[in-house]
Amino acid sequence: MRETKTMPVQSDLTYTPAAGHHWLTPFYDFGVAALTREHRWRTVLIAQVHPSPGDVIVDVGCGTGSLLVRLGKAAASAQLVGIDPDPAVLTLARKRVAAAGLAVELHVGFARQVAELLEGRQPTKVVSSLVFHQVPMEEKVAALAAMHAALGVGGEIHIADYGLQRTPLMRALFRGVIQNLDGCANTEPNARGVLPDLMHSAGFRHVEETIVIPTLSGSISLYRGSCSS
């Protein structure tokens, strides 16, 4: 495992820490497990991604590396790359992937920088989990455009995140947990179901919401799309 590059960032670019506040970062994995039915949606996401030995898979907003480890166990010879803007959370990821015996590249950078970080390499699949609800609309748009630019023809995008909150209960849970932690401005577009339209606008085709999973913090949706010529 090696960390190959740190991208310079614009002074006006900021990020929301994994758990909403830096001081909560050490408790992030516990919170995800307790509040999001993590085993359920990650299992479905791995099956949807269907990692194969020849894949080059980039986890955008990889956080503590939990998804990278699962991807590596599902396809040991796949090339794995993790990107996250938070150096503190990448320290946790570095320890986790090393303990799992995986060779993973970890980069400090924003989602909008994915194509630059890969330096011309074309991944076969890009994944992202619990990231888009935390970033401003401008960054949602820029991130999806960068992911599309990085993927080659036939490449796939797979996202697991809070999506349209369809019932009063899910809306109430989302407000009570996620919007209390991450605020309303960035999270509300997700709750109104904006991601599929943004994926289409970025150039992805065959965009679909594949499953909706109710959790104690609101419903989590899985999405996928592909790049065509």
Q: What is the pLDDT of residue 181?
A: 87
Q: Which two tokens stand for residue 96?
A: 């986790």
pTM for the whole structure: 0.88
Sequence-separated (6 or more) residues with CB below 8 Å from residue 33:
39
76 lies in a domain? yes
User: Do strands 205-215 and 79-84 pair parallel, antiparallel, or not at all (unpaired)?
Assistant: unpaired
> Per-residue pLDDT for 14 more than 70?
no
pLDDT range class, residue 228, cuts 50, 70, 90:
confident
Question: What's the whole-number average pLDDT of the chain?
Answer: 89
- The mean pLDDT of 53-81, rounded to a whole number, is 94
> Per-residue pLDDT for 21 more than 90?
no
Q: What is the pLDDT of residue 22?
A: 58
170 lies in a domain? yes
- The mean pLDDT of 61-75, rounded to a whole number, is 94
Lowest mean pLDDT among 14-28, 33-47, 155-169: 14-28
57 lies in a domain? yes
211 lies in a domain? yes
- The mean pLDDT of 18-28, rounded to a whole number, is 53
> Per-residue pLDDT for 227 more than 80?
yes
Domain count for the chain, please give it: 1
Q: What is the rounded radius of gyration, in angstroms, for the C-alpha atoms of the chain?
A: 16
58 lies in a domain? yes
203 lies in a domain? yes
> Per-residue pLDDT for 3 more than 60?
no
pLDDT range class, residue 25, cuts 50, 70, 90:
low
Q: What CATH number did the domain enclosing 77 receive?
A: 3.40.50.150
Kindly state the DSSP code that residue 63 receives in the 8-state scheme. Answer: T
134 lies in a domain? yes
User: Residue 6's closest CA among 103, 83, 69?
Assistant: 83
- The mean pLDDT of 133-141, rounded to a whole number, is 96
Q: What is the pLDDT of residue 1?
A: 46
pLDDT digits (tens, 9 = 90+) for 152-206: 899 999 999 999 999 999 999 999 999 998 999 999 999 999 999 999 999 999 9
Give the C-alpha separation, 52 to 49, whole Å: 9
Q: What is the pLDDT of residue 43?
A: 95
Which structural domain, as residue segments, surrounds residue 202?
22-226
Helices 38-49 + 66-74 axis angle, to 10: 50
Percent of the chain with pLDDT over 70: 86
> Per-residue pLDDT for 4 more than 70?
no
pLDDT range class, residue 32, cuts 50, 70, 90:
confident
- The mean pLDDT of 21-44, rounded to a whole number, is 73
15 lies in a domain? no
Q: What is the pLDDT of residue 120?
A: 85
